[in-house]
Structure 1
Amino acid sequence: MIEQVQKTEKWYQNSILFKLGVITLLILLLLIPQSWIQDLIVERQANQTDNINIVSNKWSGSQLVQGPILMLPYKRQVSNAGSKAPVQTVIEYLYVLPQNLNIEAGLNTELYKKGLVDVTVYNTKVLLKGNFSQPDLQKANLLTGQVMYDKARLIFGITDLKGLKNNPAINVQGQIYNAEPLTEQSRVFENAMQISFVLPQTGNINFNYVLDIKGSNDLNFLHIGKTTDVELAGNWKSPEFNGRDLPDNRVVNEKGFKAKWHLLYYNRPFPQQWANNDTTLSGKKAHLSAQFGVRLQVPVGEYRKITRTAKYATLIILLTFVSLFLTELIRKQRIHLFNYTLIGAAMIVYYTLLLSFAEKIGYNYAYLISSISTIGLISLFTASLLKNVKAAVLFSIILTVFYTFIFVIIQLEDYALMVGSIALFVIVAALMYFSRKINWDNH
């Protein structure tokens, strides 16, 4: 009976498959604190998003340059069918988009650090010039006598008026007008401004003006000209061109970027003119499809890097445990499951170190400090367990390769999947090679 008990104990102690099963269970249990780490990162990221909003509210938010458009009032007689009420005269509006619109802007950017997040703020002067053709009254079923040429208005806007640094002076046909807020109920643009002028009844209507504005993170434009040309330059080294239309020509280097757009009205979601509808330009779907511009952000944000790094936690723990398990089998030195648990705990604490240090000194230095600390701790612990310095040095090299591999993947964006797949293939091949000499039937 005693001999049978001893054989049972020996089976538990020497079974490779049993220990491998327990290690697998331990890895699954470590997923619980890993999920807590992910929640902590999300919480800290939400806090930093609040910081971005604070900076944007104090400086100015993302800017969308809208307009200009020509708003021309006209009179129309209306009467109710079957009613004895007299005919009434109502005022409606004809909206006309520019025939040609040319925009030039130069961005002067700087980083405003708030917590972990670097908020990109900028100053820019946007020059807008172009012309309107005469409204097509026949197409609008209007007579010249109905149109109130002396009350024509030019309307434009930006997303955040707080970023407007001075009152724009609008030049129309050589005459200078000072812009005023559009206070009446009109949904043409968000935060619209206007000037009133007398519209000539013949020839093109030329205009030009400069918007001296500041903003943060994004600068976009609205494609409203029948022909729209935009030249944009700035000192930001890693621009992301967004919107439906990418630049026709762009140059990005260490000095900054230059980009040019040439857009025709064929892909524009707006008609050249329309009557009595002030929501045509503000429709959400059409509005979004007509925007284009540049986003001024760090290519991969700090919290995004930390989140991506934490997603590889299970892979790192798995590879580390497999490496330790193979070392144990090859050297024929048993390592207790409790020691596996302590090593797993050290690798989980690694991510809290990374997060806390990154908020103070940035991701790259935080990754270096956290990795060296964790690798050093686990290597010293392994050396004391195996009583062999060479084995511990080899294990530290393996861990260094793992953490370097993850760091390279995080830095890469376009090639991350390819590099990661190749590296994992090499790792699997190495595990297959070293596992050949293991007797998996040993009990």
Structure 2
Amino acid sequence: MNRSLTMKLGAIALLILLLLIPLMMISGVIQDRQQLRDGVLEDIARSASFSQQISGPVMVVPYRKVVRTWVSNAQTHERQQELSEERGRLYFLPERFELDGKVQTEVRARGIYEARLFHADNRISGQFAIPERLGITENFADYQFDAPFLAVGISDIRGIENALTLELDSQRLDFVPGTQVGWLGEGVRVTLPALDAQKATQLTFGFDLRLQGTGHLQITPVGKTSKVHLAANWPHPSFVGNYLPAQREVNSEGFSAHWQTSFFSTNLQDVMSSCVYDTLCEAFTSRSFGVSFIDPVDQYLKSDRAIKYALLFIVLTFAGFFLFEVLKSMAVHPVQYALVGVALAFFYLLLLSLSEHIGFSLAYLLSASGCVLLIGFYVCHVLHSVSHGLFFSAGLAALYGLLYGLLSAEDYALLMGSLLLFGLLGVFMVLTRKLDWYGVGLNRTAKPEVAHE
């Protein structure tokens, strides 16, 4: 390879490295704006309500137990019985738990930033199967029971939008704030009628819960058999938690999903037993599932993904210039390379600033169109040919179109990117298949060739 070609390639490589500086600065701006947006969304959620998790209902039966202890009298050497009282609670999970939820989403804005809130209209129902003597196998006469109550954990009770009333068989009972169960966290409870502890009892319950939140809606499947159905007008659901829906349907108007679990899959009965002595019980609350109402690919994520392809764009654009040089015996100055590279870098800054106001798709169209027109106008004069400039602009526009496809794809981005690179490599090899690389630059005149149309 001759010295002229080596120097030109070295200058191009140096320019590419220098252009990494503004690209890194723009990448930092993207991260800063994203952190600012996240802070605003946190403030909106703090003013409304955070992500929601429903854990329960759980039936709690407080008890007092007479404890008999035999002690020896040191003087008489006789054994005497001392009585003391022990307080505790019995916990029961539903035999059957069902939740049917219909969710509507809305957008709340603060300045240029938007947060998506959800309003879930839930119908929760099921049945408790209380065993004979409350499952106590020891001396039942030593137990006295206080009024049982039903506790429902709700992670952010500020989101409750209706007055909660429990339908228990033929009775209607009002909920009050607080679960009085530490490991359930925040929530509500309702006092139940006294139980006939001597015999087995079945209690059928139901109540409506309208709940507002942001981010995620999760449910803990507390039943021996649990069925949960959620439907929403959100077309981009991300199913989260330990269990995926058994059935789901997603279209442009929203989604519908159905979960079904049992104690065999959740093991919640044993987990609850270990939670009784813990103030917090992550093992219980973590056995949940639900839906995320967060846009999986927002403008900041797309802008961040776009700038990851910036180096590739610059290399491909410079490669196009270089092809014109070697195939048409034209000379392009390194300063001209640099100006085109800076214009490509400014595309990402335009994309970020416009997408905050008009949405990513329209911002991408306007930014790409502006850069293609500017670079196309400049290249027509650099290559001294309108046809060459238009051809170059068409190729650049095609690259922007392919990049948009890569950014919009969630599952096929890697495949599309690999095929794109392979195809461009093939085009480059075909165009230069007959080129004498040892002779490149030897016959080039000092002045660039002027192509006349």
Deviation larger for 249-258 or 227-236? 249-258
8 Å CA contact retained: 1:71, 1:155? yes
Is 1:238 aligned with 2:236?
A: yes
Per-residue deviation at 1:419?
1.6
**Distance in 1 of aligned mates of 2:323 and 2:13:** 14
User: Within 5 Å, which residues of 2 pair with 1:267-282?
Assistant: 267-271=265-269, 277-278=275-276, 282=280
Q: Which residue of 1 aligns with 2:301?
A: 304
CA drift of 1:279 comes to 5.7
User: Structure 1 residues 112, 346: closer, same or farther in 2, change over 3 A?
Assistant: same
Partners in 2 of 1:392 and 1:83 — Cα distance?
106
Amino acid across the alignment from 2:58: I
Rounded Cα–Cα distance in structure 2 between residues aligned with 1:157 and 1:274: 14
> Could you tell me which of 13, 19, 22 is aligned with 1:24?
13
Inter-partner Cα distance in structure 2 for 1:335 and 1:239: 50
Residue 371 and residue 17 in structure 1: after superposition, are their counterparts in 2 closer, same or farther (change >3 A)? Answer: same
2:24 alignment counterpart: 35
Mapped partners of 2:331, 2:234: distance in 1: 56
3-state DSSP of counterpart to 1:438: coil
Q: Quick one: distance in 2 between partners of 1:343 and 1:273?
A: 63
Q: Which structure 1 segments of 5+ residues have no match?
A: 1-10
Aligned to 1:4: none
Do the aligned residues in 1 keep the contact of 2:97 with 2:221 (CA within 8 Å)? no
Offset of residue 334 of structure 1: 0.8
Q: What does residue range 304-343 of structure 1 map to in structure 2 within 5 Å?
A: 304-343=301-340
1:191 has 2:179 as partner: no
- Residue 427 (structure 1) aligns with: 424
Task: Provide the C-alpha distance between the structure 1 equivalents of 2:323 and 2:101, rounded to a whole number of angstroms.
Answer: 61
On the 8 A contact 2:156/2:187 being kept in 1, the answer is no
Q: In 2, Cα distance between the equivalents of 1:258 and 1:148?
A: 47
Asked whether 1:56 is paired with 2:45, we answer: yes
Once the two structures are overlaid, the 10-residue window that deviates more, 274-283 or 307-316, is 274-283
The 5 Å alignment of 1:24-423 reads 24-77=13-66, 87-114=83-110, 117-135=113-131, 141-182=137-178, 186-197=181-192, 198-201=194-197, 202-271=200-269, 277-278=275-276, 282-288=280-286, 290-423=287-420
User: Residue deviations 1:262-296, cap 9 Å, x none?
Assistant: 211111142269668436694324422x1111122
State whether residues 123 and 213 of structure 1, in contact with CA within 8 Å, keep that contact through their aligned partners in structure 2.
Answer: yes
1:220–1:294 Cα contact (<8 Å) kept:
yes
Aligned length, in residue pairs: 429
> 1:353: Cα distance to partner?
0.8
TM norm structure 1? 0.90
Residues 272, 284 of structure 2: 8 Å contact kept = no
Aligned-partner Cα distance in 1 for 2:347–2:339: 12
Distance 1:83 1:275, change over 3 A: farther
Using the size of structure 2 for normalisation, the TM-score is: 0.88
| RMSD over equivalenced CA pairs, Å | 2.5
Alignment partners' CA distance in 2, 1:232 and 1:121: 16
Give the conservation status (yes or no) of the 8 Å contact 1:94–1:274: no
Cα distance in 2, alignment partners of residues 157 and 413 from structure 1:
35
When residues 267 and 81 of structure 1 are mapped into structure 2, their CA distance, relative to the original with a 3 A threshold, is farther
Q: Please give the secondary structure, in 2, of the residue aligned with 1:30.
A: helix
1:200 alignment partner, SS class: coil
Percent pairwise identity: 30
Q: 1:275 to 1:44 in 2, by over 3 A?
A: closer
* Residue identity matched to 1:42: Q
The Cα shift of 1:181 comes to 2.1
CA contact (8 A) 1:218 1:296 kept: yes
- Answer with 255-264 or 358-367: which moved more: 255-264
Amino acid at match of 1:333: M
Displacement of 1:182 in angstroms is 2.5
- TM-aligned CA deviation for residue 213 of structure 1: 1.7
For the structure 1 residues 297 and 276, does the alpha-carbon distance in structure 2 shift closer, same or farther, using more than 3 Å as the test?
closer
- Residues 136, 62 of structure 1: alpha-carbon distance in 2 compared, 3 angstrom cutoff: farther
Separation of aligned partners in 2, 1:334 and 1:317: 18
Q: By how many angstroms is 1:428 displaced?
A: 0.5
